[in-house]
């Protein structure tokens, strides 16, 4: 194996010690600062966007801006945006129009668009629609201080350049809206998979992996500050690869998982998202070998039809995908699996749709994220294929997919009745302050009455007595 954990933790501690002197990685334990200027940020879309917002917050704090939850008192308002579906862009446009009254009452207020939508639309929102003052793409957040200065002087402030190197590895995220228990840790950026429906390679650039030292340092610092769970993030985490420039030894995703899990047995480790073609037996065996690596894999299928998968450029067949699901359950019989599913992709027939329902049935997903196909400008599908499935057919097929998943989710939860599972308490149940809510290793939400002297961040054993379609209901053991 490329590194001994002790070596990695020694380096982690060294980095943290240096950062306390203002030299490198700034840990969470900085004293609370007072800020004269305030910024307000809203994040949309994937977990990576929320993680990016924490990097942006760190950059802004270093420039004297403190976060606020009250947009009325903000000097800067940022929307961190998503372009993966048309509805997401419509939501952001509507939100921007709602900010106009703030501009009227505070002419010095600056409004910025960040993230994937900013990258895709570039200067359109600045020049044609004049809805924003600043436009910044996902790889250009370091330039925010200069862009804010330009916008203050009335200039067009835009930077949407993509990078082949940027990973923000040296920036310690400011944990916005943190519960102090769970945190996201970005391990890579960009994507090399040219799925024909997806805009990510064009808005986030080519794939590059963050160095393992900085990842371990960040996770170790989270543990030191009481966090109990990290989710390792990437567009395709399974293709993580970093070579130590000093030793020329390799760190694969399986090795990185092992190193993070070994920081502390009290640290739960999750990851998202996996591409079926890249998740290896090494990853599965590593998960099985470490109790604190959660038994849960998000494994997007997108379609159950081999013909449609080829049009999507997913590089696997339905048979290959089902074999991967079988392999996961051979190595980890208790592993939870979820998926992404698109209804109504270009040329999709009723037979193709039935293939998708069949793959769902055979895979027995615990839950899924399900959408109608939304053509995104600039993608390969938009260039090559007609979006030829009528909206009413897309809607009906999506309803059938949702109905199927609702049944599968309920069946999955019913199988858990009678078992005892380890739950990390995250906070109060949404419906009752008399109940705790947490998740088990399989990423299922578990709700149970408050008993004993427990608190958020504690691990407890819960016996499952009942369930709904989306929640396990139990009692403390």
Q: What is the mean pLDDT of residues 357-383?
A: 96
* Residue for token pair 């009481």: 226
The candidate with the shortest Cα–Cα distance to 60, out of 77, 47, 84, is 77
Q: What are phi and psi of 111, to 5 degrees?
A: -115, 130
pLDDT higher than 80, residue 86: no
* Triad 300, 306, 307: Cα angle to 5°: 120
- Residue 31: partners with Cβ closer than 8 Å, 6 or more residues away: none
Q: What is the CATH number of domain 29-159?
A: 3.40.50.12160
Give the DSSP per-residue string, 177-244. Answer: T--SSEEEEE-EE------TT--HHHHH-S-EEPPHHHHHHHHHHHHHTT--EEEEE-TTGGG-EEE-
Work out the percent of the chain whose per-residue pLDDT is above 70. Answer: 91
Q: Do the domains 298-415 and 1-20+175-294 match in fold?
A: yes
Residue 233 has pLDDT above 90, yes or no: yes
Sign of CA dihedral 441, 447, 448, 453: positive
Q: Please, which pLDDT band fits residue 7 given cuts at 50, 70 and 90?
A: very low
Digit-coded pLDDT (tens) for 425-445 = 999 999 999 999 999 999 999
Q: How does pLDDT run across 240-265, given as a tens digit for each residue?
A: 999 998 888 999 999 999 999 999 99
| pTM recorded for the entire structure | 0.87
**Predicted pLDDT of residue 17:** 34
Task: Give CATH for domain 298-415.
Answer: 3.30.750.200
Q: What are phi and psi of 446, to 5 degrees?
A: -125, 130
pLDDT digits (tens, 9 = 90+) for 63-74: 999 999 999 999
CA distance 427 to 425: 6
420-476 CATH choice from 1.10.3720.10, 3.30.1370.10, 2.30.30.140, 2.40.50.140: 2.40.50.140
Structurally, what CATH architecture does the domain formed by 1-20+175-294 represent?
A: 2-Layer Sandwich (3.30)
pLDDT band at 16 (very low <50, low <70, confident <90, very high): very low
DSSP β-ladder status, 37-43 and 65-67: parallel
- The answer to whether the beta carbons of residues 190 and 163 sit under 8 Å apart is no
In this prediction, residues 193-205 reach a mean pLDDT of 91
Q: Residue 5 burial by CB count (10 A; 0-12/13-18/19+): exposed, middle or buried?
A: middle
């Amino acid at each position: 194996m490329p590194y001994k954990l002790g070596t990695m933790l020694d380096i982690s501690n060294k980095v943290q010690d240096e950062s306390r002197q203002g030299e490198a990685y700034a840990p969470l334990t900085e004293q609370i600062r007072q800020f004269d200027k305030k910024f307000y940020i809203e994040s949309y879309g994937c977990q990576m966007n929320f993680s990016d917002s924490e990097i942006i917050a760190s950059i802004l704090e270093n420039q004297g801006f403190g976060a606020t939850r009250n947009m009325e008192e903000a000097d800067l308002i940022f929307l961190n945006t998503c372009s993966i579906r048309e509805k997401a862009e419509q939501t952001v446009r509507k939100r921007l129009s709602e900010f106009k009254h703030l501009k009227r009452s505070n002419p010095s207020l600056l409004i910025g668009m960040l993230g994937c939508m900013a990258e895709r639309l570039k200067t359109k929102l600045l020049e044609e629609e004049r809805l924003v003052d600043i436009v910044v793409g996902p790889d250009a957040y370091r330039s925010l201080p200069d862009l804010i200065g330009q916008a203050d002087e009335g200039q067009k402030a835009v930077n949407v350049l993509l990078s082949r190197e940027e990973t923000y590895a040296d920036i310690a995220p400011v944990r916005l809206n943190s519960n102090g228990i769970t945190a996201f840790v970005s391990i890579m950026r960009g994507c090399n998979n040219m799925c024909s429906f997806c805009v990510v390679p064009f808005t986030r650039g080519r794939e590059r992996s963050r160095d393992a030292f900085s990842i371990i340092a960040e996770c170790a610092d989270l543990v030191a500050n009481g966090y109990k769970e990290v989710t390792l993030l990437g567009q395709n985490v399974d293709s993580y690869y970093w070579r130590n420039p000093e030793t020329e030894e390799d760190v694969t995703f399986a090795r990185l998982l092992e190193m993070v899990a070994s920081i502390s047995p009290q640290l739960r480790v999750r990851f998202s998202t996996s591409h079926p073609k890249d998740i290896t037996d090494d990853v599965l065996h590593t998960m099985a070998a470490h109790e604190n690596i959660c038994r849960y894999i998000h494994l997007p299928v997108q379609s159950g039809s081999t013909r449609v998968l080829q049009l999507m450029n997913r590089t696997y067949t339905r048979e290959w995908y089902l074999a991967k699901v079988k392999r996961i359950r051979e190595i980890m019989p208790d592993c939870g699996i979820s998926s992404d599913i698109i209804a109504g992709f270009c040329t999709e027939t009723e037979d193709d749709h039935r293939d998708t329902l069949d793959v769902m049935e055979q895979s027995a997903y615990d839950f899924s994220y399900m959408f109608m196909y939304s053509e995104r400008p600039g993608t390969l599908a938009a260039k090559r294929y007609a979006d030829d499935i009528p909206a009413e057919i897309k809607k009906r097929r999506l309803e059938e997919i949702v109905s199927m998943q609702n049944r599968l989710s309920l069946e999955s939860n019913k199988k858990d009745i009678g078992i005892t599972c380890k739950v990390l308490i995250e906070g109060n149940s949404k419906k009752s302050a008399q109940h705790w809510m947490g998740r088990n290793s399989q990423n299922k939400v578990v709700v149970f009455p408050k008993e004993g002297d427990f608190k958020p961040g504690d691990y407890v054993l819960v016996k499952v007595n009942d369930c709904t379609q989306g929640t396990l209901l139990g009692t403390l053991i």
